[in-house]
Amino acid sequence: MWLERGVSGMGRSLKDEENGRIVGKYEIGRMIGIGTFAKVSIARNVDTGEEVAIKVINKKLIEKYQIAELIKKEISTMHLIKHPNVIRIHEAIASKKKIYIVLELATGGELFDTITSRQKMKEDDARHYFQQLVTAVDFCHSRGIYHRDLKPENLLLDSNGVLKVTDFGLSALPHQLQVDGLLHTRCGSPNYVAPEVINNARRGYDGAKSDLWSCGVILFVLLAGYLPFDDTNMFMLFKKIGQADFTCPGWITKSAQKLIKRILNPNPDTRITMVELFKNSWFRKGYKSPIFEETPLDVVHDIFDESLMDEKPPMMNAFHIIAGFGCFDLRKLFENLLDCVEKETRFISKLPPEEVVSMIKMAVKPLGFRVVKNKKYKMKLLGGKVLHKGQLAITTEIYELFPSLSLVEVFKSKGDTVEFHKDFMVSLKDAVWTLEQENNHDTSQTSNCSSIYE
């Protein structure tokens, strides 16, 4: 069955009441789209002349449908993602009656419209769009963000034909993961949703694997011009998805068919991973990694004052201790909590600071890290591997709490968040002292550290 656009909940009969209105430094122009909860218009920055898109949301609708948290999540999520294939958010403005979200303008329309106008794409064109999509999605995953509603309607094109992922309203953030590290909410568009989201949401699903499934459905649509799974009966549709009941048309090359089947594997445990996908020969043909400067979330951690070469680690006073832990974390008043969740780990050490420094150096040496800056108790380490998100850069600093107690802070300043947690922090597992060890051993014999995660 050929693609059909879903019907908007608001229809297209609304008056364009915003045209000509000045909001902040933006003059709103003609309306270019209507969604269930928002209207989108072109606007012009009166200071610079730059054209932008403004999403206008009526506060009455927010209250009526109780979507305040959804709107907040979308805004905060987009602020966390600075990538050439993700729609950029400029700012959000609130009036008494409405919320205005100022976004990068993508004048090329939806990828959906490009697909429907061509029916199907040439393989090189489809691959080019798919590469951009996967690169953006993989970057989101490295920030702990899972989109959960990937479909051609949520993929825009700019004036140069560059793909832009948008609409993060259903995305999942790190704090939504339960203790099992999985997501448990059924969401997404039926034709693009992964089978484990439909069938095993209670048991939990991996957001990265379910997003990759949706990318596979989009790749099929790009090459075939129609959906791999479609049925007017929802039960039958979900049955087809659960069994991966689809057939690739003959015009799709064997190598592309093979890749599609590896992505649309109903078993998430054996489904192709992002790492494997980036090594796939069909995917890599003509692939170029995007070149961009990732906006740091907290540049303070990358600053080293070379003039202060203290012989002892800095003392941490009571305010720092209270401000740094648990429900008394005062930094949450000034920073986005996600910054800390993604990039930072702390633990307490009963070892001398010099020994902690040595342990960190020894732990990371097998991983190929090298010290690029060293201020005795503050180090900057650079990973040896150059992956598609660049080298992993780590900052460590040790504070003296008491003469026999130190606080170790570890920050990821650049690179893949997943690598940070799974590779770098795992390498320090022998330096972790637990309360259980404290109960089983005399304090004087303890040589590990107590882990405190924010």
* CATH classification of the domain holding 344: 3.30.310.80
Q: Please check whether residues 364 and 226 belong to one and the same domain.
A: no
Tokens of 237: 């549709």
pLDDT in tens, 392-444: 788 888 876 666 667 777 777 777 656 555 556 666 665 555 444 445 544 44
HEC string for the chain? CECCCCCCCCCCCCCCCCCCCEECCEEEEEEEEECCCEEEEEEEECCCCCEEEEEEEEHHHHHHHCCHHHHHHHHHHHHHCCCCCECCEEEEEECCCEEEEEEECCCCCEHHHHHHHHCCCCHHHHHHHHHHHHHHHHHHHHCCCECCCCCHHHEEECCCCCEEECCCCCCECHHHCCCCCCECCCCCCHHHCCHHHHHCCCCCECHHHHHHHHHHHHHHHHHHCECCCCCCCHHHHHHHHHCCCCCCCCCCCHHHHHHHHHHCCCCCCCCCCHHHHHHCHHHHCCCCCCCCCCCCCCHHHHCCCCCCCCCCCCECCHHHHHHHCHHHCHHHHCCCHHHHHHHEEEEEECCCHHHHHHHHHHHHHHHCCEEEEECCCEEEEECCCCECCECCEEEEEEEEEECCEEEEEEEEEECCHHHHHHHHHHHCHHHCECHHHHHHCCHHHCCCEEEECC
Quote the pLDDT of residue 287. 96
- Last-in-domain residue among 284, 315, 330: 284
Domain range enclosing 168: 111-284
Quote the pLDDT of residue 326. 42
- Last-in-domain residue among 68, 84, 104: 104
Give the number of other Cβ atoms within 10 Å of residue 295's Cβ.
11
5 found inside a domain: no
Q: Please check whether residues 139 and 195 belong to one and the same domain.
A: yes
Q: Which CATH number goes with the domain that contains 262?
A: 1.10.510.10
292 found inside a domain: no
Q: Please check whether residues 196 and 93 belong to one and the same domain.
A: no
290 found inside a domain: no
Q: Please check whether residues 355 and 432 belong to one and the same domain.
A: yes
Cα–Cα dist 309/263, whole Å? 52
Q: Residue 206 catalytic?
A: no
Q: pTM for the complete prediction?
A: 0.64
Q: Please check whether residues 128 and 226 belong to one and the same domain.
A: yes
Q: What are phi and psi for residue 446, nearest 5 degrees?
A: -75, 135
Q: Please check whether residues 98 and 119 belong to one and the same domain.
A: no
387 found inside a domain: yes
Quote the pLDDT of residue 64. 86
326 found inside a domain: yes
Q: Please check whether residues 265 and 315 belong to one and the same domain.
A: no
Instruction: Kindly give the parts of the chain with pLDDT less than 70.
Output: 1-16, 175, 179, 293-344, 350, 373, 376, 384-390, 400-405, 416-454
125 found inside a domain: yes
Quote the pLDDT of residue 80. 80
What amino acid occupies position 83? H
372 found inside a domain: yes
Q: Please check whether residues 124 and 272 belong to one and the same domain.
A: yes
- Last-in-domain residue among 234, 251, 284: 284
Tokens of 381: 């380490």
What amino acid occupies position 55? K
Cα–Cα dist 396/415, whole Å? 15
Q: Which CATH number goes with the domain that contains 92?
A: 3.30.200.20
Quote the pLDDT of residue 176. 72
Lookup result for tokens 């702390």: 346
Number of folded domains that form the chain: 3
Q: Please check whether residues 309 and 186 belong to one and the same domain.
A: no
Q: Please check whether residues 153 and 96 belong to one and the same domain.
A: no
Q: Please check whether residues 208 and 164 belong to one and the same domain.
A: yes
Cα–Cα dist 60/74, whole Å? 18
Q: Please check whether residues 354 and 441 belong to one and the same domain.
A: yes
55 is in an annotated binding site: yes
178 found inside a domain: yes
pLDDT in tens, 77-127: 888 888 999 999 998 888 888 999 999 999 998 999 888 888 889 999 999
Cα–Cα dist 57/38, whole Å? 5
Q: Catalytic residue among 138, 149, 206, 416, which?
A: 149
